[in-house]
Each structure stands twice: as structure tokens, then as C-alpha cells.
Amino acid sequence: MTGSGPSGETGMNRQFRRIFWRPPRAHGEAIEDRSVSFLELFYDLVYVVVIARAAHTLADDVTWQGAGEFAVIFGLIWVAWLNGSLYYEAHGREDGRTRVFVFIQMMLLVLLAVFTGDAAGEGGTGFAVVYTAYLVVLTWLWYTVRRQDSEEYMAITGRYLTGMVTLIVVMGVSAFLPDSPRMLVWAGLLVAYIVSSILIFSSADPAATAGMRPTDSLVERFGLFTIIVLGEVVVGVVDGLSEVDRNVSAVATALFGLAIGFAFWWTYFDFVGRRLPKPLAWDMVGWMNLHLPVTMSIAATGAALVSLIEHSGDDRAPKPTAWLLTGAVALGLVALVFLMRRLADYDRVPELYRPVSAALVTGAVAVLLVGWLRPTPWILSLAVVAILSAVWIFSVDRWLRLDDPAAALPEGASEL
């Protein structure tokens, strides 16, 4: 017979809770040497599908309106990923409770993907309902953390939960709005979330944010999300080639387009990825939020490549396609400049990051110039690759000129 304690809980129940259903880690209980788990990798796979649905819609509607709708929907997807990932990073455990709630989130995200492709139209109501349910789950998880937090965290977690509840209410109400007003509400909600997250952490008591330190595993999660959106460049190339005759111009346009994705990967992981942000809460939140325009621009690049390849036989690239491609690349380059300023390495190796930042801005201007000229598609994609390659070559040259180049590498790396 299994005995029971004063509360009536049996020994078996206590054992179950100790092993399988433990409470979340409290704020300040960061695991410094934690590796990204297989469960987190599985969770991120669902976002591959959700983002692909959004990018596919943009590829079919290369217009200013389509780009704006994509930006809003991608932003909401990113907010969902950010909150789910931060909860696991700061409070998750290797137990059954964490797994159950991650799987619940994944179920909701699969349903969200069903409505994502037409979220700006008829699928908007379903998207809003499922997204609201997802926020309810996350808000409950964050609330369970607050219930066991110490006094110094109460103010900041209270404001954060208030923001999450506001998101739930506004997103739920948006399910009943017509399409155009709904998109405006979502856009406002996205902006409000980003601004409020910055204000909450920048104005917080330093004691409340002292335990919220950036870790290597958090940096790795953002790098993995960047790889997810880089996959959209590959998908865009395959989709584009699947819709046209595979002649020389189409294949050249596609392969040069794929090389744009390679160039993004090279620049991000050589100069941004695997590097910790500055330890202050303001810098960490800025580092996280600046990944939104970086990853959005890469996903939009993949969508633009579909249209560019489909028009590979034209004398000039279509104006909307040229501007979407070059505008997305330029946005990504400029966002990387601001992202670099949030890195701990920026102040440690300013003689590297300042000229690299100048090169990225120059590259963004050059890419936009190519978009304005609108050459034939294969030349346009080649020109963008050439510009990105020149930026990287210049950056590596500056790295090699350092007194100690190895000191500027991320931990564990031996060469660029």
C-alpha cells in the first residue's frame, strides 16, 4: 500500500509530480550550459509549414498590398514563435509537463497553418480564432511562472501578462471584423507589441531583469529560426523552376537566386550568429526584435524568387518583383546593421563592426539601384549576388586586418 501525506496526496502522486509534472523553472533559474533540445527542434519544424504558407501567398500576389499583408502575418507568426521559444528557454524542463504543453502549441500551430495562406481574406477569422487560442495557452504558461516568482519579478511579469491578455482580447475581437479593418488591427497590434516589449524591459527595475540573461541556447534558437526562413529561399527556387521551362535563363536565374540565400547565411552566421547580445535588458530585447525584419526579409526574398524565375524569359524583370526582391534584401542588410549594434562583440571589436556596418548600408543602396534599373531577371539575381559577395569579401578583409582575427570569432569557431 502506498501511503499518503497530510494533504491526502499519495506517494505515487508525489513521485509522478517530481518526475513527470514539475512546475516551471522560476525567473532567474537560467541554465547557462543548456543545449537546444530535440523537442525545441521538433517545435520549430511546425513553423516551417506556417511560414511557407505565408510566403506562398506573397509569391502569388507580388503587390504592395500583398507585401504589406505578408509583413503583418509574418510578424504575428514571429511573435508566436518568440513567446513559445522564450518560455521554453527560460522556464521549460525536460519533463512530461513541458512536452505536453509544447505538443498542444504544435497542434494549434498546425491549425494556424491551415488558415495562414488566406489570413488576409476568408481565412482571417479562422486565423484569429486559432491564434487567440494559442495566446491563451502561452499566457497560462507565463501565469504559472508568475505564481511562484519572488517579489522582485512581480512588477515586470505583471506588465507582461497584462500585455498578453490585451493581445488575447484584441485578437479575439478581430475575428468578427471585416477583412481590411482586421488587417489594420493586426498591424497595430504587432507594432504595439514590439513597442511595449521594449518599454517594459527598458523601464524595469534592474533587479527584476538581472536574472534574465542571454544564453548560448537562446542565441542558437534565433540562429535556427534564421535557418528556417532561409529554407524559404530554397523553396522559392524550387517552386519557380517547377512552373517554367527549365531553359538556360530560368536555371541561371534560379541558381543565382539560391546564391542570394547562401550570401544571407554567410553574412549572418559570420558576423551575427552564435554571438551573445549585450547583457542589458534593453539590448537583449532590441536584439530579439531586430531579428523580425532580418528573418522577414529573407522569407520575402524566397517569395520574390518564385516570380522572378517565372519571368526569367522577359527582357526586364517585372517592376513589382524587382522591388520586392531588392527591397527585401536591402531591408535585411540594414536590419543587420542595427542588430550588430546590440551584440557584445560590437563594443569589443569596433574596428571590425563599424566598417562592416558601413559596407552593409552601401550594399543596401546598391541593391536598390539594381532594382530600380530592372535588368533581365538572371542579370538582376546575379547583380544582387555580386553585391552581397562584395560586402562579405570587404568584411572578411577587415577581419583579417585585425591584430588578433581569432579573437573576433564566435566561441568554438576556428575560421570564417
Judged against a pLDDT cut of 90, whether residue 382 lies above it is answered with yes
* CA gap 214, 281 in Å, rounded: 9
Domain-terminating residue out of 209, 227, 249:
209
Dihedral sign of CA atoms 68, 69, 74, 75 in order: positive
Residue 201 inside a domain? The answer is yes
Q: Are residues 100 and 181 in the same domain?
A: yes
pLDDT of residue 16: 61
> Residues 195, 228: one domain?
no
Q: What is the span of the domain harbouring residue 71?
A: 31-209
Asked whether the beta carbons of 80 and 134 are under 8 A apart, the reply is yes
Return the pLDDT at 257: 95
- Look at residue 416 and tell me if it is in a domain: no
Are both 222 and 296 inside the same structural domain? yes
Same domain, 188 and 324: no
Written as one string, the DSSP assignment of 197-220 is HHHHHHSS-HHHHTT----HHHHH
258 shares its domain with 286? yes
The answer to whether residue 282 sits within a structural domain is yes
Q: What is the radius of gyration, based on Cα positions, of the chain?
A: 23
327 lies in the same domain as 344: yes
- C-alpha 217: how far from chain center: 15
Per-residue pLDDT at 204: 62
Check pLDDT > 80 for residue 346.
yes
82-128 per-position pLDDT tens digit: 999 988 888 888 888 889 999 999 999 999 999 999 999 999 999 99
Q: Within this chain, do residues 178 and 242 fall inside the same structural domain, yes or no?
A: no
Does any domain span residue 396? yes
Domain end: 192, 209, 226, which one? 209
Contact 144, 93 (CB under 8 A): no
- Where is average pLDDT lowest: 41-50, 146-155, 187-196, 373-382? 146-155
Total tally of structural domains belonging to the chain? 2
Flag whether 21 is in a domain.
Answer: no
237 and 183 in a common domain? no
Same domain, 194 and 340: no
Are 205 and 225 in the same domain? no
Spatial CA neighbour of 197 closest among 69, 105, 79, 340: 79
Q: 281 and 181: one domain?
A: no
The answer to whether residue 52 is domain-embedded is yes
The last residue of one of the domains, among 209, 238, 270, is 209
Residue 1: inside a domain, yes or no?
no
Residue 312 maps to a domain: yes
Compute the distance between CA of residue 344 and CA of residue 279 in angstroms, rounded to an integer.
8
Per-residue confidence (pLDDT) for residue 414, from 0 to 100: 45
Model confidence at 2: pLDDT above 50:
no
CA distances from 155 to 151, 158, 201, 207 (A): 8, 5, 11, 11
Q: By the 8 A CB rule, do 287 and 221 touch?
A: no
Give yes or no for residue 17 having a pLDDT over 80: no
Q: What is the pLDDT of residues 235-256, one digit of tens each?
A: 999 999 998 888 999 999 999 9
For the chain, give the percent of residues with pLDDT over 70: 90
Band of residue 1 on the pLDDT scale cut at 50, 70, 90: very low
pLDDT in tens, 286-315: 999 999 999 999 999 999 999 999 999 899
Q: For position 391, what pLDDT does the model report?
A: 95
